[in-house]
Structure 1
Amino acid sequence: MMSFTLRNLLGRSISLSNKCSVRSFRCGQVMLSATNLKGRHLLTLKDFNGEEIKQLLWTSADLKMRIKDKGEALPLLQGKSIAMIFEKRSTRTRISTETGFALLGGHPCFLTTQDIHLGINESRKDTARVLSGMTDLILARVYKHSELQQLAEDGSVPVINGLSELYHPIQILADYLTLQEHFGSLTGLTVTWIGDGNNVLHSFMLSAPKLGMHLRVATPKGFEPDATVTTFAKSLSEKCGTKMFFTNDPLEAASGANVLVTDTWVSMGQEEEKAERLKAFHGYQITMKTGQYAAPNWIFLHCLPRKPEEVDDEVFYSPKSLVFQEAENRKWTIMGAMVSILTDYTPKRSKPKF
């Protein structure tokens, strides 16, 4: 077994141990085996190269085909359990993980801050060690990304990021599966983000170039993505030969886009900023007028929950909108991630074209 250390985005060291070996560098990422993700943490897609992301998507598509389309029973996680820590409430993350893990034969344990002593009567370090002795996997939806890093460092089982203030990797996997299903391939697509420079955008920025996708970003002044993320993402895009463009003009960003994406303008914990944010985001609502600047085949994505000021009903409920397919794919992609991390599963269907 080979062990080595990388520096994550915040400058902290992360140790990767795996049966696979270092082969080469691709788009600024260490190239690991694309077929064995067992035992890996999923804290950010920054830690995964393009082939590994494709592997996750391939496994997700395979499970969806076998279970949903063919009606097969696949108890791949029988006898296993997952601790689901939720500091922030959720619809899609909870339901997709809970039902998905159960569908695969495992036992999900839903835990809020009222259910366990997380950082109050018991340190996070001790909680991580206790949960590691009782479960096979931890998914945590938290406010601070550092809490996920601490769980990963102090525990002995893999940790999945269910959402943090920096990243939302499991949402982006669902977005990519949706685009793969709709367009047949991801390579060459132009994704336009119109909205806040938040965790979902960060995850796009750190993964889209690895899949050969171009990214155009429009945010109001003062609401740009994290500067450190931006610097790394621009470098990644250059190495991968893709384009990444930033502006404060939503219509300029929409030019030539195959995909228009937005998200909530007021996230949990930002309620006191609502009035200021709504004023700053005036003119950022996605409408059919926005679509006139995009490519003829443009579609719309939103991770939900959605507010009308972010996208009007005409777009949201139109054939251009894939938001409910996207929401369902949260289930299949988290299942793909959990199976990949906990087992040696090999997809049965042929590998999709990426």
Structure 2
Amino acid sequence: MKTPISFLKEIDFSKEELMELIDLSLRFKELKKKRIPHKYLEGLNIALIFEKTSTRTRSAFTVAGQDLGMNVTYLGADEIQLGRKESVADTAKVLGSMFDGIEYRGFKQEDAETLARYSGVPVWNGLTDTWHPTQMIADFMTLKEIFGSLDGLHIAYVGDGRNNVAHSLLVTAAILGVNITIIAPALLQPEEDIVTLAKEHDNGAVIEITDRIEAVKGADMLYTDVWLSMGETVDFKERIDLLLPYQINAELLAKTGKADTVVMHCLPAFHDCKTEIGLNIYEKYGLAELEITDDIFQKHSSLIFQEAENRLHSIKAIMYYSLKEL
């Protein structure tokens, strides 16, 4: 019996395999745009487990599954017994006997790994506290659309360098041989074991971890994410004070020294007060913008929302890659 191909973290895949997924994503996007049916997995059933709320990941998995002809079942945190009345391993065995694939978006990377180990079907990591691999295929797909190739690119992540997006961006860039700089205050730089993994899987990328804002010089793309990850409990005022100098604004963008540097964000973004949380932050701390200013967000919004749309096409590619043999 062939071992199921799960997508749990980037280091499980070679550069060639990740590039195959990126190129497959681009082909699926073309099919979608041309409205060419591609129900290649018709009749299969997948389960979507969401312990954390979601907009893009849930929408992308749902539409991607339906486009491929699959039946999609959503399992919310309060709708199943995962880890409460039933162990993750036992849940995996039950779901694996009924579904052909399982998406998991939650807290512990260990739970995603356990689902894959005991279910006997492919498991796709929609996000854990450690990794966000499906986001990476969409991100590097977007970069390939913009620049035509990933060769020679220099990308810089600015902000909280210890979160799942920063981890995944660092390791994926290393695997793909894309030069990457993580710019974060010393207290919020990637854990040493993550940096070690990036270096172990490096295929020619220049890797830099620094607290110097000036390190954005020469970057083709700047990337940021929210300053407080879902489920994280910290003193938010301390976090703001620590990260405000790392906000992507016009002054920081100018430090790249390039007129054509692009900006990406995995969303949601706190760039104004038009959300309940954004308004609460403004009322409490007097800040209408956090990790990115509204003027920069709006200037690069077409690309940011292109990146968001690409979650659909990349997730479709990932699921097809796992299930095509069925």
AA paired with 1:264? V
SS in 2 for 1:75: coil
Q: Distance in 1 between matches of 2:86 and 2:190?
A: 34
Matched residue of 1:186: which SS?
coil
Q: Does the residue aligned with 1:153 lie in a helix, a strand or coil?
A: helix
Q: Is the 8 A contact 2:60 2:311 kept in 1?
A: yes
Residue 324 of structure 1 aligns with an amino acid whose one-letter code is: F
Quote how far apart the aligned CAs of 1:212 are. 2.3
Partner residue, 2:284: none
Q: Distance in 1 between matches of 2:320 and 2:170?
A: 25
Q: Secondary structure at the match of 1:283?
A: helix
CA distance in 2, matches of 1:195, 1:256: 18
* 1:245 maps to 2:226: no
The structural deviation recorded for 1:106 is 0.6
* 1:191 pairs with one of 143, 155, 177: 155
Q: Shift of the alpha carbon at 1:253?
A: 2.3
Q: 1:272 to 1:212 in 2, by over 3 A?
A: closer
* Correspondence for 2:168 among 203, 213, 229: 203
Greater helix proportion: 2
Deviates more, 1:281-290 or 1:45-54: 281-290
State the alpha-carbon separation in 2 of the partners of residues 302 and 282 from structure 1.
17
- Decide which of 29, 38, 58 is 1:74's aligned counterpart: 38
Q: Which amino acid aligns with 1:76?
A: Y
CA distance in 2 between counterparts of 1:273 and 1:141 reads: 25
Give the aligned partner of residue 19 of structure 2: 54
Report deviation, 1:300.
0.4
> CA RMSD for the aligned pairs?
1.6
Q: Deviations over 1:41-100 (max 9, x none)?
A: 1000111011000111111111110122x2111111210111111110000000010111
Taking only the aligned residue pairs, the percentage that are identical comes to 38
2:324 counterpart residue number: 343
TM-score by length of 1: 0.83
Whether the 8 Å contact between 1:301 and 1:321 is mirrored in structure 2 is: no
Give 5+ residue unaligned stretches, structure 2: 272-289
1:23 matched residue in structure 2: none
Match of 1:10 in 2: none
| Distance (whole Å) between structure 2 residues aligned to residue 341 and residue 310 of structure 1 | 35
Provide the rounded CA distance (Å) in 2 between the counterparts of 1:321 and 1:204: 21
* Equivalences, count: 306
Instruction: Tell me the SS of whatever aligns to 1:282.
Output: helix
| From 255, 273, 276, the counterpart of 2:235 | 273
**2:82–2:91 Cα contact (<8 Å) kept:** yes
Please show how residues 63-212 of structure 1 align to structure 2 within 5 Å.
63-68=28-33, 70-197=34-161, 198-212=163-177
Deviations 1:175-223 (A, max 9, x none): 0111111110011100000011211111112121232210011111211
| Cα offset, 1:270, TM superposition | 2.0
1:172: Cα distance to partner?
0.8
Q: Distance in 2 between matches of 1:165 and 1:319?
A: 27
Give the counterpart letter for 1:249 in structure 2.
Answer: R
CA shift, 1:271, in A, is: 4.8
**Contact in 1 for aligned 2:135/2:311 (Cα 8 Å):** yes
The structure with the largest strand share of the pair is 1
3-state SS of the aligned residue for 1:204?
Answer: helix
The unaligned stretches of length 5 or more in structure 1 are 2-16, 19-38, 346-354
CA distance in 1, matches of 2:262, 2:72: 34
Match of 1:317 in 2: 298
Partners of 1:77 and 1:339 within 8 A in 2 = yes
Aligned to 1:301: 264
1-side partners of 2:205 and 2:225: how far apart? 23
Cα distance, 1:283 vs. partner? 0.8
When the two structures are superposed, what TM-score results if normalisation uses the length of structure 2? 0.90
Alignment partners' CA distance in 2, 1:92 and 1:181:
20
